[in-house]
Structure 1
Amino acid sequence: MSSTNNVGIILPDKIYKNMSNMTPDVRCMLNLFEKAAKHNNIRLCYLTLNRIRPDKRTVEAFIMVGNEFVFKEVVRPKVIYSRIIDYSPICQAHIKSLLESGITVFNRPNYDVEKYTIHQLLEINNLLKKHLPYTLPLTLQSLKLMMNKYNSLILKPNYGEKGMGAMKLDRSGKYWSLSYKLSGELDVRHEYFINSFPSILLSRIKERKYIIQETIPLATYMGSPFDMRVSVQKNIEGNFTVTGIMCKVAKQNDFLTNGAQGSSTYLIKKILPETNIITSPSKLRKNIFSISLGIAHYLDHQFPHLADLGFDIGVTKDGVPYFIECNFISDYLGGIIANGKLLAEEWSSVFTTPIDYAKYLLDKMD
């Protein structure tokens, strides 16, 4: 295979450092990458950002030889797929130097991924705005304002993932209930109050930035709320397409749908007959595709080189979609792969489509 067909994949340090002793789930993911690479007649080179130098024509990387990943020096790839989130000045300066040397880096981590920043960008668009929950930066003043306006609120860190630190407020008569979890616990705790805010709430918003949102009345499956991780990626033709929809169902008596918080993942077609959604499956699919592709195209004009996005989308029982948050890498290993196997074959495209897009970029260089 010609060295001009090399495509780089920048891996997170945790995965890269364990390439010789990777978990079965990571092995499954890399096998899917390799399957797409073989189909497109390209060779994948797994590396870290700091190993790529604009003034050097070779790079040390892991490549698949037979069924094993071997560390060796190869010709530096012209196209690189970034699977890291890092918008530090050092990272940005390094990527800029690579771009100036003629290397194409897509899905590059050059954006501020704070939740409120993305919300503000989408709020400018009148078509997208109606699919956003009302949201404010969390202060004691905005907290009181929102409690006067809504009966249920979600409080979550402005920057964070996996649902860690999220809280929920619900009004019941003159009382409010605060639902939350302690670090490392999966069980929900509750505190009730009238006027004085619980100390856990005050300490958390003092330690880090939070946002506060109206609670979306999520559709339910077997009585538990669920939302969807919608994978939107650029394909072999360079166009955004929806490559996967994963329903994340909260465990019983929980308000969080994150996999790390104990939720379960299902195909939408498997659970739809037992949800409380009253709209037709075809209309629901159309609504989800429309809002997801609309957001992807809009963000694509804000940030250069986006190609691999995962949106958390909630729907009401009437099938109305709401944007919850954006993930700048679409896959969801904990929900898609278990014990080294895909939970559903149709989710394989979440991993293969970015490799197809890399082929598209390579062909454009010829």
Structure 2
Amino acid sequence: MEQKLVGILLNAAAHRGVPQGRTGWESLACYEEAADAYGLTPCYLKLADIDPVSGCSAVYIKSQQGYKRVVIPIPEVIHNRAIYPSGNTGTQRLAARGVKVFNLHSRYGKDEIHRLLSLDSGLVGHLPGTDTGSGGLIRMMEQYPDLILKPRRGSIGKGIMRLRRKDKESWTLEYLHHGQRASVHIHPARLPGPLLRRVDGSSYLIQERIPLAEAGGRPFDLRVTVQRGWGGEWVVTGLFAKLAPPGGFVSNIARGGEAATASFALEQAFPARAAAHYRMSAAGLALAVARCLERGLPGLADIGLDIGVTRDGQLFFIECNGRDQRYGFIKAGLPEIWKDSYRRPMGYARYLLDGGAER
């Protein structure tokens, strides 16, 4: 198999750390091992070093002397692992000149994802009640006793708030303040101005809070990694559970959540046979979500989906992560699946380099 280059597009901070091998949870060794299995050599680049006019880019490539910075023609295939502000068109410009960029975008608005999924009649029943704006907040408070308010473009659980009914006259708004849980009581007829400004500013989505199953009294959801590999088809690479901290409502690992195997968490909440059924059903739902999203999101190839299982066994889609934080597999004690999450995209890169059609 002919050795070819594959680009790994990183944010500037991670890219700066390549020469020292300090790229956070982006494992250069895993990229290199996975790429080698498909006859590929990874080169690490950032948007600022790509010159569409000359058709060249400065990249880092590993040599016997360490990572060497060289100038090469822009790689034919690039796996996007960077996050850019809304409105950045760098990856689209690359695609316009014929570069095959998979995961063309790595962050999508939660409202956009909800809209696309709501067009699929088979998925509507797996979507939580959702609304926007101050009018939507009032409607949702009239319909549901427990709500989650989340930034449309937030990540790792930052900015998420919980609003739940305390009694007929008051609600409790819970949030994280400098990493600590805080709360305030509010009256539905006198909603705080700062809260209304947030939800009216088109930056927040209001959703029914799903009564998640619990493991040891801790609510959890399932992170399902769904990727394209050799051949271009969607495959579930693996899944793990994210447990909220004791007394908390956000399961994100970066916000104090804990990773565990899906089997462990599900078997804490359900009998073994039911737990196995829900595990397989979550994987099936994740595949259906990926296949639906690909119709509206060009270049989609590597995503992490959060799937919730309720106490009575219903499955709900919660969130799509365009840059899946794979380190959860390590924290859940699943190192081989962690490595697989690098292998599969490199298989897809080889498929594209060999003339496979982008999906």
On whether the aligned pair clears a TM of 0.5, the verdict is yes
Deviation of the 1:44 alpha carbon: 0.6
SS at match of 1:165: coil
Task: Name the CA shift for 1:189/1:100 in 2 (closer, same or farther; >3 Å).
Answer: closer
Superposed displacement of residue 67, structure 1? 7.7
Distance, in Å, in 2 between the alignment partners of 1:142 and 1:330 is 30
Aligned: 1:280 with 2:274: yes
Residue 43 of structure 1 is matched in structure 2 by: 41
Distance in 1 (CA, whole Å) between partners of 2:170 and 2:220 is: 23
| Partner Cα distance (1:5, 1:164) in 2 | 39
Distance 1:294 1:44 in 2: 31
Aligned equivalent of 1:70 = 68
CA distance in 2, matches of 1:254, 1:327: 21
Alignment of structure 1 residues 313-332 onto 2, 5 Å: 313-332=307-326
Give distance in 2, aligned partners of 1:277 and 1:261.
29
Deviation of 1:70 (Å):
2.1
**CA separation in 1, counterparts of 2:73 and 2:212?**
50
Residue 101, structure 1, aligned to residue 97, structure 2: yes
Asked if 2 retains the 8 angstrom alpha-carbon contact of 1:330 and 1:350, the reply is no
Structure 1 residues 26 and 250, CA, compared in 2 at 3 Å: closer, same or farther?
A: closer
**Contact (CA 8 Å) 1:232, 1:330: kept in 2 or not?**
no
Deviation at 1:290, TM superposition (A): 1.7
Partner of 1:185: 179
How far apart in 1 are the matches of 2:141 and 2:25? 44
Residues in 2 aligned to 1:26 and 1:162: alpha-carbon distance in whole angstroms: 14
Pick the aligned partner of 2:347 from 329, 332, 356: 356
Structure 2 counterpart of 1:32: 30
What's the offset of the Cα at 1:228? Answer: 1.4
What is the deviation of 1:120? Answer: 1.3
Gaps of 5+ in 2: none
Structure 1 residue 276: Cα displacement:
4.3
Identity score, percent: 33
Q: Which residue of 1 aligns with 2:241?
A: 247
- Among 217, 220, 231, the residue aligned to 1:223: 217
| Aligned-CA RMSD value | 2.7
1:278 to partner: Cα distance: 7.8
* Aligned-partner residue type, residue 152 of structure 1: D
Aligned to 2:113: 118
Partners in 2 of 1:239 and 1:88 — Cα distance?
Answer: 28
Question: Contact conserved, 1:177 with 1:192, CA < 8 A, in 2?
Answer: yes
For residues 70-99 of structure 1, the C-alpha deviation after alignment (integer angstroms, 9 at most, x for no partner) is 22223431111111233655x42x444433
Is the contact between residue 53 and residue 98 of structure 1 (CA under 8 Å) also seen in structure 2? no
Structure 2 contact 133–201 (Cα < 8 Å) conserved? no
Residue 48 of structure 1 deviates from its aligned partner by 0.7
Kindly indicate whether the alpha-carbon contact (under 8 Å) linking 2:14 and 2:24 is maintained by their aligned counterparts in 1: no
Instruction: Tell whether the 8 Å contact from 2:231 to 2:356 is kept in structure 1 after alignment.
Output: no
SS at match of 2:28: helix
> Is residue 226–residue 249 contact of structure 1 (8 Å, CA) maintained in 2?
yes
Distance in 2, matches of 1:6 and 1:144, equals: 53
Deviation at 1:183? 3.7
> After alignment, is 205-214 or 255-264 more displaced?
205-214
SS in 2 for 1:130: helix
The CA distance in 2 between the partners of 1:155 and 1:57, in whole Å, is: 44
How many aligned residue pairs are there? 357
Equivalent position to 2:130, from 130, 135, 138? 135
Gap change, CA 1:48 and 1:197, over 3 Å in 2 = same
What secondary structure, in the 3-state scheme, does the structure 2 residue paired with 1:126 have?
Answer: coil
Decide whether the 8 Å contact of 2:14 with 2:23 is kept in 1. Answer: no
Counterpart of 2:296? 302
How far off its partner does 1:185 sit?
A: 1.9
What CA deviation, in whole Å up to 9, does each residue of 1:149-199 have, x standing for no partner? 111111112221122222112223324332423442232434354643346
Which residue of structure 2 lines up, in the alignment, with residue 17 of structure 1?
A: 16
Aligned equivalents of 1:273, 1:112: Cα separation in 2: 33
1:156 to 150, 154, 158: 150
Which 4+ stretches in 1 moved above 6 angstroms? none
Residues 78 and 362 of structure 1 are in contact (CA less than 8 Å); yes or no, is this contact kept in structure 2? yes
Query: Gapped runs of 5+ residues in structure 1?
Result: none
Matched, 1:146 2:144: no
Change (3 A) 1:14 1:336: farther
Supply the AA of the counterpart residue of 1:358: A
1:228 and 1:73 mapped to 2: Cα distance? 42
Q: Show CA shifts across 1:251-301 (max 9, x none).
A: 011111111210001111233321247862332123112211111111111
1:26–1:172 Cα change, 3 Å? closer
Deviation at 1:112, TM superposition (A): 7.2
Counterpart Cα distance in 2 of 1:98 and 1:85: 15
